[in-house]
Structures are given as C-alpha cells and as structure tokens.
Structure 1
Amino acid sequence: MTAVLKVDCVGATFGSLRAVRDVTLQAHAGERLIILGTNGAGKSTLFNLIAGDILPTYGSIEWRGQPIQKLSAHERTRLGISRSYQTSRVLHGLSVADNMYLAVQGVHAGRFSWRVPGADHPWRKKADDTLSRIGLRDVGDELASNLSHGEQRQLEIAMALASDPYMLLLDEPAAGLSPSERPGLVALLRGLSRDVTMIMIEHDMDVALQVADRVLVMHEGEIMFEGTPEETAASPLVRSLYLGSSGDVDAA
C-alpha cells in the first residue's frame, strides 16, 4: 500500500509538558486509521499536529511526498487535508443547507464569508450534492438547531468533505451520540469513498473497531500499540492502557 502520510519522530512540548513524544506513523491511501487513548494520552495534540492547528516542536510530517510540518492548517486544506472538530462548528441559527453552502464557499473563496451563494451558483450545487451523499438533503431547509445530535455530526462530516479532501481527519465523531444513533454513524463512515483516507480519534471502542482497518493506541504522548481491530479487542496491553486491567473492551 502507498503511504500518503508519514509522521517521523514528531514531538510537541508546551513548557515542561511533553504532550507528544517521538511519534512515528504512516497512513496509507484509502485506509481507515483509528487513534485510541484515554483523556490526556496525546491523541488530540497529535491530531492537531497532522492538521496544522499547531506546529511540531521537532520531527517531520510528509503528505504525498511533500514536507508539511511548517504549513498552516489552511495551507494543508489546500493540499487536500480536511478535519472536523470535537466541539461543534455548526451554526445553529442557520439552516442545514446554509451551513453547507458557507463551508463550500469558505474553501473555494479561501476564506469564510457570511454571504450565502445564489441559487444558480455552482457552490450551491456542490453543497447540495454533498448533503445528498451524507443523507441530509431532505432536511436542508431545517434549522441546524432542530437536528438530532447524530444528524449534527453528519452535517459536520459533510462540511469537512466540502473541500473534496484526499484525507479526512475526524475528531471523536461519536462523542455525545446515543446508542441508537451510533449504528447510523458507523454506516456513514463505512460508506465513505475509499478515495478518501480517513484518520479518526475515537473514545468509543465499539464504533472504532467497526470502522478501523488499523488501530493505534496512545498513552502519555506515545504510541504504545498498533494492530488490527481483532488484535486490539484481544490485547491485554490495550485493556490495561485504555480501560484498566479489569476493563471490558467490548463495553467501551
């Protein structure tokens, strides 16, 4: 498989805190790579390093053969890397369609604007097509505030897809979902095109193992485990690091 992302001995230090320590990983074209870990394990910091929200203290990050560790998040978006956030960026006072239009406009205009594209604008068609692909076209006229939490997560993923990325970074998309909403999220993620490489931080072990091709588990800023979903579920090390020695992986 072709490695599209290469992270080599990357670290991030904030004062005396070493949030990420000497992390090396690769993501392959079309892969679903899931990063697990308890709160404070360093997974969100690693995610931000890949996305460009923060720059590494040391180490290198290569995207499709190009060094990107010094590039801003916006510059990385232009190269085909898009992300969602754990904290919702949905504008609840606008319709679902308007949220999507603004996301598309922000990508193509190079900046976020409050102006909604007109009915005949190609950005509107792009927004509508993306909503259809995610399964939200029928609720396009609804206020975003009227959506269920699961539907809002769908909208966030749709907005992240506005740039037609080569790689999608998802930050805990199952956070806050009810048990009845999680199967829909899993189906959505598994149905995304394999033309898009996906890296996902997730705290819900059940969701992660249903989506992943490969799993990394972080602890205290380091990658401590790598394996398939089956290997992850069976690993005593993962049980110890992620859940505690008496934890039940399947119940996470």
Structure 2
Amino acid sequence: MSAASSEAILRTFKVGKRFGGFTALKDISAEFRRGAITSIIGPNGAGKSTYFNLLSGAFAPSSGRVEFEGKDVTGLAQHQFAHMGVAKSFQITNVFPQLSTHENVRVAAQALTSRFDIWRPRAAMTELADKADHLLERVGLADRRTRPAGSLAHGEQRALEIGMALASEPRLLLLDEPTAGMSPEETRTMMDLIVRLGQERTVILVEHKMKLVMGISDRLLVLHHGELLAEGSPDDIRRNETVKRVYLGQREH
C-alpha cells in the first residue's frame, strides 16, 4: 500500500445532492489524504457514483462545499477540474476503437498540449509519441502498442483508458468501478496496476467489491442510503459492526 500523509488533497463539507424530490446524498463530510489510495464502497444504490461525480466535477452539489488543495472548487466546470490536476476514468470504457492503442494515448497527450495547433513541430510530435510509449509501459500495454483499441480485451481497454487519463499527469486520479465486468484474472491485474499508481499519486476509487479493495486501500469510506456510514482503515472497517450488518447477505463478486 502507498504511504499516506495526513495532508488532505480533497475535502467535502456536508455535501448533498438532490434530483427533484429524491435525495441521493446527504451531508457527507470527508477528506482524502494526499498520497493515499482511498476506496468508496457500499451496496448498490448507496450513492457511490453520485459522490464520485461530485468529486470529479461532473455534478455540482445541491448543498455543501468541495475543496481541492485548500481551494473552494464547488460548482466549477468539469474541464476546470482537469486543468487543476484531477483526472478520472469512467465505469464505461471510453476509447477510440479504430485507433491503435498507442494512437489513443498519443491523442490524449496531444489534446492537452497542442489543441488547435496544426503547425506542430516534428520534435514535439516525437516527444508525444515517446510519452505515449512510456504511459503504455506504465499500464502494462507496451506489447499491445499497434493493436486497434477495439480489439483489446475488456480489462486491457480499462487499462488503456487509465493510460489516457495519466497523459495529463494528474495529482489526483479518480477511478469509477475500475474492475466492472472483469474476469478474476483481469481484476487481479487491475488491482496490481492501481497499487503501482498509488505509489506515485493520490487515487480515489469507487468500488462495490468490498473484499477486493480491503487489501490495497489505505482508507475506506462506506456509503449507505446516501449517507456516510463509516470511514477508516481496512482494519477499522472490518471490525465495524454496522458495516457488517449492511453487508450481511450482500453477495461479493
């Protein structure tokens, strides 16, 4: 596991989210430590994805406040989060299937450095290609460099999307159910990748597979019915009787 410091990179203060008359989140106050892997877990319908969307700027909270590196970022547009150093990978894979694996990552890197610049120097393009190669190595896809992204296995596509997210060199990486739809072998590979990423940057992931994240997380937040049920180290959560009751009978995948 990564070594966590006590400094928080991201905080929420009594955030809530309503959709019409439905309250999806209620008064969640939490902090996410810099350099740590923090997992947000809970049964289906607990509010995990809604909270993730608040943390990434996809949703503005209906109440409360969000702070990133000590600055109030409540309600800022999603692209502003990206410029601040926040990157995310979605639950649904989002790659360009016709492009090669390498081209997907290179395009992601190029979009950050040369938007609308058609007179891109050749040396700079070489740098982008080298960066794409480095990122593919980081996510374990170097040997898939020339393969069309659409031909990759599901787990490999998820890894590719993470490589694309890393092109912005984020300080905070948000992962939405990174093992969704994966085989046990793909899941183990993804968990190993997350551990490696957590050694270099802050990682927050949403996951419903509680047993899987116990071994890699520095801290866990447990949501239930849109509220924060518990938070703490994996050992704290294992011993929490309320959490045990919520998960009693919940089938782990």
| Structure 2 length-normalised TM | 0.90
For residues 232 and 106 of structure 1, do their structure 2 counterparts lie closer, same or farther at Cα, with a shift above 3 Å needed? same
Query: Does residue 1:132 correspond to 2:137, yes or no?
Result: yes
| % identical aligned pairs | 38
2:92 is matched with 87
Q: Does residue 101 of structure 2 align to residue 96 of structure 1?
A: yes
Q: Is the 8 A contact 1:11 1:58 kept in 2?
A: yes
What letter is aligned with 1:205?
M
Segments of 5+ residues of structure 2 without an aligned counterpart are 1-5
Q: Letter of the aligned partner of 2:13 in structure 1?
A: D
Q: Deviations over 1:166-200 (max 9, x none)?
A: 10000000101101222211111111153411110
1:12 maps to 17
**Letter matched to residue 168 of structure 1:** L
- Tell me the residue number matched to 2:3: none
Aligned counterpart in structure 1 of residue 180 of structure 2, from 169, 175, 179 = 175
| Structure 1 Cα separation of the partners of residues 72 and 64 of structure 2 | 11
What SS does the aligned partner of 1:165 have?
Answer: coil
Q: 1:38-57 maps to which residues of 2 (within 5 A)?
A: 38-57=43-62
Name 1:231's counterpart in structure 2.
236
Stretches of structure 1 that go unaligned for 5 or more consecutive residues are none
What pairs with 1:141-152 in structure 2 (closer than 5 Å)?
141-152=146-157
TM-aligned CA distance change 1:86 to 1:159, over 3 Å: same
The SS at the match of 1:9 is strand
Given that 1:174 and 1:207 are in contact with CA atoms closer than 8 Å, whether structure 2 keeps it comes out as: no
- Aligned partner of residue 38 in structure 1, secondary structure: coil
In structure 2, what is the Cα distance between the partners aligned to 1:195 and 1:135?
A: 16
Superposition RMSD in Å: 2.1
Distance in 1 between the 2:33 and 2:236 partners?
A: 19
Selected match of 1:106 from 82, 107, 111? 111
> In 2, distance between residues paired with 1:117 and 1:38?
51
Listed one character per residue, the Cα deviations across residues 126-166 of structure 1 (whole Å, up to 9, x for unaligned) are 22211111111121100112211111111111111111001
Whole-angstrom CA distance in 2 between matches of 1:168 and 1:190: 12
The Cα of 1:236 is off from its aligned counterpart by: 3.1
Which sits farther off after the overlay, 65-74 or 122-131? 122-131
CA shift digits 1:15-37 (9 cap, x unpaired): 10111111100011101110001
Match of 2:38 in 1: 33
Give the CA deviation at 1:3: 1.0
Q: How many Å apart are 1:110 and its aligned residue?
A: 5.6
1:62 is matched with which residue?
67
CA distance in 2, matches of 1:44, 1:239: 21
Q: Does 1:200 align with 2:205?
A: yes
Alpha-carbon deviation of 1:58? 1.3
Q: Which has the higher contact order (CA 8 A, sep 6+)?
A: 2
The one-letter amino acid paired with 1:18 is T
CA distance in 1 between counterparts of 2:85 and 2:56 reads 11
TM-score between both structures, scaled by the size of structure 1: 0.90
**Residue 193 to residue 16, structure 1, CA distance change in 2 (3 Å):** closer
Instruction: Name the CA distance, whole Å, in 2 between partners of 1:64 and 1:231.
Output: 26
Residues 222 and 109 (structure 1), Cα distance of their counterparts in 2 relative to 1, 3 Å cut: farther
CA displacement 1:83-142 (0-9 Å, x = unmatched): 01001101222211111112112233468x9xx997861222222211111111121100
Please say if residues 59 and 75 of structure 2, whose CA atoms lie closer than 8 Å, have aligned partners that are also in contact.
no
